[in-house]
Chain A
Amino acid sequence: MAPRTPLPVEAPEEAPVAATATTARGLVREFDGRRVLDGLDLDIAPGEFVALLGVSGTGKSTLLRALAGLDRQVTGTIDTPDRIAVAFQEPRLLPWHTVLANVALGLRTREPETAARIALTEVGLTERAQAWPLTLSGGEAQRAALARALVREPGLLLLDEPFSALDALTRMAMHRLVLRLWQRHRPAVLLVTHDVDEALVLADRVLVLAGGRLTFSAPVDIPRDRDRDRDHPALIELRHELLRQLGVSQEG
């Protein structure tokens, strides 16, 4: 973990924790001459839940892949916790391994199966441990993917629109589950999403990516004890601001 450096773009009011879990400086990534990331800087404190918003094609997933070390063509400096886990938009479970084997895959702990079983219990999939992934519902598969990410005890959890393919009710259930798991394990989280309300419900801080840089950063200072009240005046104000930032003039 690197020592904390001043925030160049985003300046939250309250001082974050002393150490910076994740730091990115001057990230540049081009696709066929088009700069998707253009000198991007990012800081995520340990245990902080950050949501990253941006319209389609602005490079949200590119940034996430860069942080995950999945993109070797990105330039700049990245400092992250040792253990990073990713959950993608699609569950990406290996269909030829059982759910349990998927969760245990690549675990370097002494008893990977036991750890995987515990993780599956945490996401409520105990009885589906021996199921083939193709027999799971969309929500179950995404929960298995979440278990597979969390069982690695990541210092940084990267979530790439993991709920966008789910129906509205399942998505709400998943939001509660993710919050519960985050509060228990306290990884830093970067949630990439295009859903303003999802960002507001889950995150400590919301960021907007546009033109290859983070153009907006604001804390969400509303207690998370219960489901955040959508009608809270501060949330309504922030929602309007975010929609304006995203180039959506009217709330829809």
Chain B
Amino acid sequence: MPRITDVPVLPQASTAPDRAAEHPVPVPPATAPGQPEQTQRPNRPERHRWHAWARLVSPVAVVLLWQLVSSAGLVSAQKLPPPLTVWHTAVSLVTTDSPAYGTLQGAMLVSLQRIAIGFAFGAVAAIGLALVAGLSRVGEDAVDPLMQILRTLPLFGLIPVFIVWFGIGELPKVILIALGTAIPLYLNTFAGIRGVDARLAEAGRALGLRRTEMIRHVILPGALPQALTGLRQSLGVAWLALVVAEQVNANAGLGFIISQATQFLRNDVILVALAVYAALGLITDALVRLLERRALAWRRGLLSQ
């Protein structure tokens, strides 16, 4: 049998006609021929940058209008505090450790810790279960029915049961977040594993890949896009679960600030806490999207076309 390593390699020039033949019509290729792909970035037209700024116009206009309406005394400042008041409240919540609220950053840390622990447990369980169910029929029969039942249960309807089971401390909050995280992530990861292109799997078998190699090179990367979609959904549910869980006997965290503020009729404080929830949600979503861009860099060629 001839060995490939024994034969002289083709001179480069002999491939030129082949390449020319591949673009018989002047379709702009995604990349210039001969240029290494990994250094390529899709260069966005100037227009797109202006577009990003243009999208800021309407939100800013609404905030200005809100400020004007409040300053003009058209609505009660207690019911709808003007943006500037909310800003000053935020600053004082950060700079002063008040007996009623503590500090904003302290509360934020408590809430972040809750969601981090709940999310971590939920994500690990979801991915583990999805692998068990996705990679074997027996695993699917054992795991999937239970997850499908869990998925139909109304998450927040479980709170009273959790209080009976786990009390009103940290545990029911973390479990609620973990459960909220686990279900969308499990469903998407499982579907992603099962949805791996059968033709690629067949090609893998034709290449003689072993089972572990199939999982590593074909199944897991193939499932990743949908698993990451599930991760983003999970984060959304996790933040919701945090907000709801913190309403239950919160003695620390952003939920505690909100329940205190409710008693003192301080809508400005409530708005600050809500804004912090929103900002943290946005930041975590951006982190996942960054992860997506890194992990799915191979799709860039497709998306930029």
Q: Which of A83, A88, A173, A184 contacts B7 (CB 8 A)?
A: A184
Chain A 118-145 interface 0/1 with B at a Cβ cutoff of 8 Å (1 = within): 1101111011101111110111100100
Which candidate, A27-35, A148-156, A191-199, A218-226, is the interface stretch facing chain B? A148-156
If A96-B222, A134-B298 are given as contacts, then 16 extra A-B residue pairs at C-beta distance below 8 Å, sorted by A number, are: A83-B1, A88-B203, A92-B199, A97-B298, A105-B204, A118-B5, A124-B14, A133-B298, A134-B299, A135-B301, A137-B23, A138-B22, A169-B21, A185-B4, A185-B7, A186-B2
Closest 8 CB pairs of A and B: A124-B15, A135-B301, A131-B37, A92-B203, A139-B22, A106-B207, A169-B21, A173-B18
Number of B interface residues in the complex (CB < 8 A) = 50
Query: DSSP class of B's interface residues: helix, strand, loop or mixed?
Result: helix
CA A179 to CA B130, docked complex, whole Å: 46
Chain A 98-113 interface 0/1 with B at a Cβ cutoff of 8 Å (1 = within): 0000000110100000
A85 is an interface residue with CB less than 8 A from chain B: yes
B residues within 8 A CB of A138?
A: 22
Q: Enumerate chain A interface residues (CB-CB to B < 8 A).
A: 68, 70, 83-86, 88, 90, 92, 94-97, 105-106, 108, 114-115, 118-119, 121-124, 126-128, 130-135, 137-140, 143, 148, 150-153, 155, 167, 169-170, 172-174, 177, 180, 184-186
B:8-25 near A, CB below 8 Å: 9-10, 12, 14-15, 17-19, 21-24
Q: Are A172 and B21 in contact (CB under 8 A)?
A: yes
Given contacts A68-B206, A94-B218, contact A132 B37 (CB under 8 A): yes
A residues within 8 A CB of B38?
A: 130-131
Chain B 266-305 interface 0/1 with A at a Cβ cutoff of 8 Å (1 = within): 0000000000000000000000000000001111111000
Which candidate, B28-36, B48-56, B91-99, B232-240, is the interface stretch facing chain A? B28-36
B202 is an interface residue with CB less than 8 A from chain A: yes
Q: Which of B1, B21, B30, B34 contacts A173 (CB 8 A)?
A: B21
A residues within 8 A CB of B209?
A: 105-106
Q: Are B22 and A132 in contact (CB under 8 A)?
A: no
B209 smallest CB distance to A (angstroms): 5
CA A119 to CA B15, docked complex, whole Å: 13
A residues within 8 A CB of B34?
A: 127
CA A173 to CA B22, docked complex, whole Å: 9
Q: Are B301 and A170 in contact (CB under 8 A)?
A: no
Q: Which of B9, B206, B218, B224 contacts A122 (CB 8 A)?
A: B9
